Amino acid sequence: MLTLVAVVLAWLIGSLVGLPEFGSEVVARCQPTLLDLGIAIAAGAISGYAKVQPKISSSLAGTAIAVALMPPICVIGFGLSQAD
């Protein structure tokens, strides 16, 4: 559900702003590298560790997942805003 909300918000913002073309950060999200894979794996490991350790705040898991997933999800919305 939250993924759909993020895509729709990025689509709306992209439509309202109406950028003629995207910058290098958005384009870089369309061609993931091994660094992106490493960040995703590290975020998953941190999230898993935070789930099994009761001393660690549960917000750490959410933050780790958001760092790995939100940028590509928002790029999907921006791409939809330009019908790309």
How do residues 25-34 score in pLDDT, each as one tens digit? 777 778 888 9
pLDDT interval class at 9 (50, 70, 90): very high
Rg of the chain (C-alpha set) = 15
Q: In angstroms, rounded to a whole number, what is the distance separating the alpha carbons of residues 7 and 18? A: 16
What confidence score (pLDDT) does residue 12 get?
Answer: 93
Q: In angstroms, rounded to a whole number, what is the distance separating the alpha carbons of residues 40 and 6? A: 18
Here the tokens at position 40 are 């995703």
Across the chain, mean pLDDT equals 83
- Spell out the residues 6+ positions from residue 72 whose beta carbon is closer than 8 angstroms to its own: 29, 32
pTM of the model: 0.70
